[in-house]
Amino acid sequence: MKKTLDKLYENSPEKSIQPPILILSDLHMGDGGGSDDFKANSGVYQTILREYFSRGHTLVLLGDIEELWEDDLVDILLTYPEIFSWHKKFLQEGRLIKIVGNHDIFLEEPKYFSRIKTVLRKKGHQELLLHLPPPSIPAMKIKLGEGEIFFFHGHQLDFLSNTLWKLSRFFIRYLWKPIQIMLRVTTASPARLRRKRTVLEREYYNWAEKRRKVIVCGHTHRAMFASSVRKEELKGEVYRMSLPVYFNSGCGIYTDGKITAIEISHGEIRLLAFYLQDGELKVEVLGEETLSKIFNSVYSQEP
Ligand SMILES: [Mn+2]
């Protein structure tokens, strides 16, 4: 298990990005139909994109952005052309990094893109060729001053989402999606299973603690800051994750209309929750610390 992450770490490129950086994951953008959990939050997301584009942030999309287990990319492109064109704007300025998750794993494959391009041309949607997302990478290391942050989606230790992903996808696409539409319940695999989520969080934490690495993941749909869960969310779970190594960007499909993200700027790292109030973007700061303090405590303590 541990080897999976060691390999991922060793094989991932190291990029230097100048903050400010905004990290989001798990938007699960769908086809706009009854199973599309992102639809209700698409307005908040567009506002975030507009705002943070003008603020000069680099956007790190940390996996499960397009919901390709349930829907076809062509339908998602047709549903959210404005969002894809925003992503393109970031990309053209060299300010977009796209990392795959399990639900958008196809975006690693050049072959997948040529197939989608053919479909778009056949269906007469040439204009959408410009909006195609860029090829995605599995993981990335970013140097920040004295320290480094390792970014990956976080399905890698999730047996159902990683090893058995084809079977899981079949289940979701052909069995779960119709049920979801019928019952109007939301998707979110590890999010539905609390125990599984806790186990995953623990495994990533343990790896990061042992290796003395600060990591940012998504996948579980539970935002976390410096290895701690917010009190309101604890519900009797006991956490003993003391080293501030594990961060999670949460997701874009909270049913209360919020989207969480991690921001790195001005030497600080923070966990943010966005929502719209009377059409205006509001930001709640759920956690905040200087990077130097985080790096100091991670690198100075003996394992
Ligand atoms: Mn995922």
Strand order in the sheet with 280-290: 96-99, 58-62, 21-24, 259-265, 268-277, 280-290
Distance 28 CA to ligand 1 centre (A): 9
Q: Quick one: pLDDT at residue 33? A: 93
At 158-216, the pLDDT tens digits run 877 676 667 777 667 766 666 665 555 555 555 556 778 888 999 999 999 999 999 99
β 58-62/246-248 pair status: unpaired
For the chain, how far is it from start to end, CA to CA, in angstroms? 19
Q: Say how many Å lie between the CA of residue 88 and the centre of ligand 1.
A: 23
More confident residue, 238 or 291: 291
Provide the 3-class DSSP secondary structure of residue 279: coil
What average pLDDT does range 226-243 have in this prediction?
Answer: 75
What's the gap in Å between 12 CA and the centre of ligand 1?
19
Please give the residue range of the domain that contains residue 273: 2-300
pLDDT of residue 242: 85
Q: The domain that contains 136 carries what CATH number?
A: 3.60.21.10
Residue 16 confidence class, pLDDT cut points 50, 70, 90: confident
Residue 145 contacts by C-beta under 8 Å, 6 or more apart in sequence? 267, 291, 292, 295
Ligand 1 mean position, distance from CA 150 (Å) = 17
> Has residue 70 got a pLDDT over 80?
yes
Mean pLDDT of 231-248: 78
CA distances from 134 to 95, 99, 176, 285 (A): 12, 10, 28, 30
* Ligand 1 centroid to residue 171 C-alpha, Å: 15
Distance 66 CA to ligand 1 centre (A): 11
Number of domains in the chain: 1
DSSP-based helix, strand, coil % in the chain, nearest 5: 40, 20, 35
Residues 100-143: tens digit of each pLDDT: 999 999 899 888 999 999 999 999 999 999 999 998 999 999 99
pLDDT on residue 178: 66
What distance in Å separates the CA atoms of residue 31 and residue 39, rounded to the nearest whole number?
9
Q: In this predicted model, what pLDDT tens digit does every residue of 198-208 receive, in sequence order?
A: 889 999 999 99
Query: Using only C-alpha atoms, what is the Rg of the chain?
Result: 18
User: How many residues make up the chain in this entry?
Assistant: 303
Residue 66, strand partner residues: 29
* pLDDT attached to residue 229: 78
Q: Which residues surround ligand 1, an ion (CB under 5 A)?
A: 64, 101-102, 155, 219
Residue 277 and residue 52 in contact, taking contact as beta carbons nearer than 8 Å = no
Number of Cβ within a 10 Å radius of residue 170: 13
Q: How far apart are CA 197 and CA 19, in angstroms?
A: 30
Token look-up 């990290």 returns: 23
CA of 301 to the centre of ligand 1 (A): 31
Cβ count within 10 A of residue 134: 15
CA 200 to chain centre: 15
pLDDT band at 231 (very low <50, low <70, confident <90, very high): low
Task: Map tokens 């599984």 to a residue.
Answer: 196
Distance between Cα 135 and ligand 1 center (Å): 17
CA 281 – ligand 1 centroid, Å: 26
The arithmetic mean of pLDDT across residues 56-84, rounded, is 95
Asked if pLDDT for residue 243 goes beyond 80, the answer is yes
What confidence score (pLDDT) does residue 236 get? 64
| pTM (2 d.p.) | 0.90
| Three-state SS at 83 | helix
